Amino acid sequence: MFFPTAHVHRLIVSASLAFIVVLSTASGQIANVYELAFVRDSQVFLVRSDGTGLVQLTSDGVNSEPTWAPDGARIAFVRNQGGTDIYVMNADGSNVVRRTFDGRSSSPAWSPDGTRIAFSSLRDGHFGIYVMRVDEDWWNPAHLGFDRGYNAYPAWSPDGSRIAFVSDSRAYDFLYDLYLMNADGSDVRLLLSGPFFWAEGLTYYFQPAWSPDGGTIALTRCGWSFLGDCPESTVALVNADGSGLRSIAGAGGFARPSWSPDGMSIAFGSSACLECPSAIHYVTRDGSESGVLIWDAHSPAWRPYAGLSEDSPQEYSVTLAPASVPTGGTLTIGWSAPAGRPATDWVGLFSPSDTIEVWWVYTGGTTSGTVSLQAPSTSGPYEARYLLEDGYFAAATSPPVTVGSGQPPSLPPANYGVALTPSSVAPGGQLTIAWTAPGGRPSSDWVGLFVPGAQSEIWWTYTGGASSGSATLSAPGAGTYEARYLLEDGYFAAATSPPVTVGSGQPPSLPPAKYGVTLTPSSVAAGDQLTIAWTAPGGRPSTDWVGLFVPGAQYEIWWTYTGGASSGSATLSAPGAGTYEARYLLEDGYQSTATSAPVTVGSSLPLAATSAAFSGRVGPARASS
């Protein structure tokens, strides 16, 4: 069942704040909100890319490699219960069925028509590519491609005509190249191959994934490592004809890239070593923006949206009228949709840049309809959206309308108040939110802690309908925050506090003058060596660390612990072209005690280097991050 987003979102945040982390990008957030299947603690989960709607889909066995059927209705995945086999389940986790019984199958990939699954299996003495029909004679799969060596990671082209896969056919257990073949197994040809000789630097290609338009293949690219764990891997793109290979983000480990349904971004896993925690990151197709989607998780798979293609968006429409209305006035949303749509399609009112709705209602599966609502009490532009199947894929968006200034007479702002104290506090210190409200308010009014300008809360609690009260909480990481009083499980803020500062300045026991960090040389080419050197007081904990940052960015591109040393240095390969700085940071947190002068990295990103587009460390998660 779909609940109003405010209610569902707060449930998830309160239960899983350390688990689900969604980062804003330079332009706001990922362009659209989609649903993502992933693996955590050996179980398959589902969550929206804005952090809401978290659902655990499996509870048995050790599960991995979820992949969606093209209609978004089923998921194939690998389960290990004494051996690895392919299973299929509905999108809600129900009706789990086993489809292989050899105990040595993996890497499932659905055909675009949803009738077949390609997979890798150890049969007849080698790992081969097999294709089975999902719902009939699945016990008799057809073998495709090479009949020798290791062959894995099949991926269908969007038109269903070709399958990309990985094979060590050129040199067993030594080279892992990318191949293409027709869907019937014919015309096998080499698409990407690394150097054959050790001295030239061995390069492996794993886990291909076709872009929705079929023109590009994303893949994991890595060099040889002793443990075979690809600690310096990158997410790379190559044109479908094998040209234009380029890395767009640093990864670490087997990234298993997955394209978003609109083809604009790629989710991938990242981990620094075999035993290190992993996280799911995203990067835009051009590598210009990136961030963390989910901590302590791996094997991402975006849910496709059937029923909406580039050829059919005109079948959906939504309108919002009138073009201008005073606050508290009446707005009307009208919609049209193809016949046979499910009852869980819905329309909602949004601020144009927001991913969370202000108001919503189900369409009931009707092909057309209208609904009226009260205009919000906050002035500004608003738009209506038609969204599919309890999700956040917008099939149609209305032109914006303007809601005028003023507050509705029934909600006089003077009757509401909220305060956040003290005005300055260290991370982990105590904050107090106090509120006042008119008598008789419902118990679902709530107060929350927010970053100014953000729509989603960091912390919240119900007021219980009390006309006054207070609540305490631990201050989050360094930054500026405000408290808001919000109405009836929604996101209308009846009152907002003045901002307070968390973590400004340095504690008296840690005088900044005792810390120093430098980054040299002042100018370097991408891929050349940079050196970070530091000084610190004696007796510092081993969890102090230094990192490489883009100036103004919150998250690092590269990092290492100082080990508590009062001085030291570390070297790294320069990332892609741009400006960077080094910082000295305290105790696994993001409190910076020293920042270097900026340096300039010139030229383009070499494929073997870590991408400057990558944001966020790939080592063990810090408690404060």
- Domain annotation covers residue 195: yes
624 inside domain: no
Predicted confidence at residue 115, as pLDDT, reads 94
Q: Do 492 and 521 reside in the same domain of the chain? A: no
Average pLDDT on 375-389 reads: 86
Q: Are residues 485 and 556 in the same domain?
A: no
Residues 423 and 474 in one domain: yes
**What per-residue confidence (pLDDT) applies to 413?**
46
302 token code pair:
């975006």
| Whether residue 458 is found in the same domain as residue 528 | no
What is the CATH number for 251? 2.120.10.30
The mean-pLDDT minimum among 92-106, 144-158, 278-292 falls in 278-292
CATH code, domain carrying 580? 2.60.40.2840
pLDDT tier at 224, thresholds 50, 70, 90? low
Q: What are the helix and strand counts (H, E) for the chain?
A: 1, 51
189/291 same-domain check: yes
In a domain, 608, yes or no: no
Distance, in Å, from the CA atom of 478 to the CA atom of 428, rounded to the nearest integer, reads 10
CA–CA distances in Å: residue 330 to residues 235, 322, 372, 383, 408: 49, 8, 7, 14, 12
Per-residue model confidence as pLDDT tens digits over 388-430: 877 777 778 899 998 885 443 344 445 789 999 998 888 878 8
Q: What is the pLDDT of residue 52?
A: 62
Average confidence (pLDDT) over 543-551: 86
Q: Is residue 616 part of a domain?
A: no
Mean pLDDT of 307-334: 76
Q: Which domain holds residue 389?
A: 313-403
Termini Cα distance of the chain: 32
d(CA 278, CA 281): 10
Whole-number pLDDT of residue 229: 65
Residue 382 within any structural domain of the chain: yes
Residue 611 lies in a domain: no
pLDDT band (50, 70, 90) for residue 23: very low
Residue of 259 and 353 predicted with greater confidence? 259
Do 142 and 188 belong together in one domain? yes
| pLDDT of 372 above 50 | yes
Per-residue pLDDT averaged across 117-138, rounded? 91
pLDDT-based confidence at residue 26 (cuts at 50, 70, 90): very low
Q: Say if residue 153 is in the same domain as residue 66.
A: yes
Name the more confident of 443 and 21.
443
Q: Which two tokens stand for residue 350?
A: 């949004």
Query: Would you state the pLDDT for residue 275?
Result: 64
pLDDT at 603: 45
Percent of the chain with pLDDT over 70: 81
One-letter amino acid of 474? S
More confident residue, 123 or 389: 123
Note if the pTM is more than 0.85.
no
Assess whether 438 and 361 both reside in one domain. Answer: no
CA distances from 501 to 196, 337, 477 (A): 57, 48, 10
For position 34, what pLDDT does the model report?
A: 73
Looking only at the bridges linking them, the beta strands covering 324-325 and 401-403 are parallel
Q: Do residues 390 and 344 lie in contact, with contact meaning Cβ atoms separated by under 8 Å?
A: yes
- Domain end (from 468, 502, 536): 502
pLDDT classification of 273: cutoffs 50, 70, 90: low
| Boundary residue ending a domain (353, 382, 403) | 403
Arithmetic mean of pLDDT, 482-488: 87
> Which of 337, 369, 403 corresponds to the end of one domain?
403
What is d(CA 392, CA 386) in angstroms, rounded to the nearest whole number? 9
In a domain, 581, yes or no: yes
Same structural domain, 292 and 363: no
Residue 21 tokens read as 């982390």
DSSP state, 75?
E
Question: Per residue in 565-611, pLDDT tens?
Answer: 999 999 988 877 778 899 998 887 777 888 999 998 874 322 222 22
Picking from 299, 302, 314, the residue whose alpha carbon sits closest to that of residue 264 is 302
Inside any domain, residue 307: no
Residue 377 shares a structural domain with residue 525: no
Going by pLDDT thresholds of 50, 70 and 90, the confidence category of residue 613 is very low
Burial class (CB in 10 A: 0-12, 13-18, 19+), 58: buried
**Total domains present in the chain:** 4
Q: What is the dihedral of CA 117, 118, 119, 120, to 10 degrees?
A: 160
Residue with tokens 């001085």: 567
Tell me, yes or no, whether 366 and 274 share the same domain.
no
pLDDT at 377: 78
* Domain shared by 169 and 273, yes or no: yes
* Whole-number pLDDT of residue 455: 66
